[in-house]
Amino acid sequence: MSTRDELRIAVGRGLLLEDALWMGDVLTSALRHDGPGRVMASLLLSGHVSRIVYEGRQLIASSNPDVALPGLVALLPPEEHPSIALARHATKMLDNQTSKSKPLKEFEGEIHRAWMSQRALLFRDVKPGFTWLQPDLGFYTLDGYVVGATIPLHMRFGLDAVPPEHYPDFFQKFGEDLITSLRIYACLSGSADALVTTVELSAVDAVEDNDKFVKRYLKRAYDSALNLDQKLLLLLIESEVNTATTLVPLLTGGHVTAGFRARLISLWHALSSLTKVLDAHPGATSPGRDRLHTLVNSTDATRLSAQGMQMVRNRSVHYEIRGKVELAFPDRPMFGIIESLTDETFESLDALVRGLSADLRMALREWRES
């Protein structure tokens, strides 16, 4: 094996280790936390941890024998929990691997089914004629920004296929599989006890739970040219943007590069998903829509599509490094991937992601509330 190949394998494992140590820290810290953040941190970051667990399995079970680690694979849960493959797409919003040419109508159908499934669950004990008193949308806010909503979460977990009486066992197994996998990946450090508990969750205790009626709340939200299903998709995107922009920085702790990758992935796919929505509905012409369109097509957004940025995004998601990727600065953050592939530095790209994400967060909130 060449030295270049050895370096690429080591970097892929190093990226997985960084992400596993971060999310393992968050989850174990949550287990020891007494406040509401104990549940909120795990729930709202479920897309990010599912991505790490899913992609980690892909790395250590690689078809390349030089990359694969069959001894670790044998320690993983034998069958992947069904929600892991679904929830990992949460951070990709409307732009995941299986949906590049997927019509927006199909996403609308999926979130409509999740809405109806959740309504059926909420209304099953409500007497006929009184359903108008039962809210059918729960959403979570932090500092006034939506960081999660129950209908998108219902869709991402695939709960329409799970009997409600099975929810407790379903989510217990989901959580156990996630933390077990993270503990296995942490063994890449050379220690079986690499996970630490250092993340402070008190700020997450401030997440507020709000109940709304979909038809009333979203009637005037975003743009009158959009139907309720389209608005629910925008709420999905907005909540993921805000999770990455508002919540992830609070839970990053000392895991700087892992937290950066989570924010980069969310921003990348938010811009792509919003472009899909805006292009599909040219009749939406409100001032809020126009502000968002300008931001999505801004100079800063264009920097994320510069040469090499797609590969930086890929290395932030997929751990196995294939192809002719030269890593010239392995001592830099992210093992020099950014400096090796683009004209950016880690610091300049981090500043870009922070600034553009903050602008996008504000534009989405203003559009929804206008």
Concatenated DSSP letters of 186-250: HGGGT-TT--------GGGGG-EEEEE-HHHHHSSSS-TTS-HHHHHHHHHHHHHHHIIIIIHHH
Residues 6 or more apart whose CB falls under 8 angstroms from that of 16 comprise 52, 55, 56, 59, 185, 188, 319
Looking at residue 367, its pLDDT comes to 92
The residues spanned by each domain of the chain are 3-89+96-369
Residue 124's pLDDT is: 82
- What integer pLDDT is reported at residue 126 of this predicted model? 76
What pLDDT is stored for residue 15 in this prediction?
97
Please give the angle made by the CA atoms of 196, 44 and 280, to the nearest 5 degrees: 140
Query: Which alpha helices (H) appear in 45-166, and where do they start and end?
Result: 46-60, 70-73, 82-87, 104-123, 150-157
Q: What is the pLDDT of residues 129-180, one digit of tens each?
A: 777 778 999 999 999 999 999 999 999 999 988 999 999 999 999 999 999 9
- Cβ neighbours of 244 (radius 10 Å): 28
Q: Which of 106, 127, 124 is nearest to 116 (CA)?
A: 124
| Cβ–Cβ < 8 Å for 257, 18 | yes
Integer Cα distance of 369 and 37 in angstroms: 26
Question: Which token pair is 353?
Answer: 């992601």
Mean pLDDT of all residues belonging to the chain: 91
Give residue 5's pLDDT. 83
148 DSSP β-pair partners: 140
Among candidate residues 48, 66, 81, 77, the one with its CA nearest the CA of residue 1: 66
- What pLDDT, on a 0 to 100 scale, did the predictor assign at position 101? 64
Q: pLDDT 10s per residue in the chain (370 long)?
A: 677 788 899 999 999 999 999 999 999 999 999 999 999 999 999 999 999 999 999 999 999 999 999 999 999 998 889 899 888 887 788 875 454 567 888 899 999 999 999 998 888 877 777 777 789 999 999 999 999 999 999 999 999 889 999 999 999 999 999 999 999 999 999 887 888 899 999 999 999 999 999 999 999 899 988 999 999 999 999 999 999 999 999 999 999 999 999 999 999 999 999 998 888 888 777 888 899 999 999 999 999 989 899 999 999 999 999 877 778 788 899 999 999 999 999 999 999 999 999 999 999 999 998 8
Tokens of 230: 């389209």
Residue type, 102: K
* CB distance 211 to 135 below 8 Å: yes
Nearest in space to 15 (alpha carbons), one of 323, 310, 350, 312: 312
DSSP state of 335: G
Q: Look at residue 168 in the predicted model and tell me its pLDDT.
A: 92
- Kindly report, residue by residue over 220-267, the tens digit of the pLDDT: 899 988 999 999 999 999 999 999 999 999 999 999 999 999 999 999
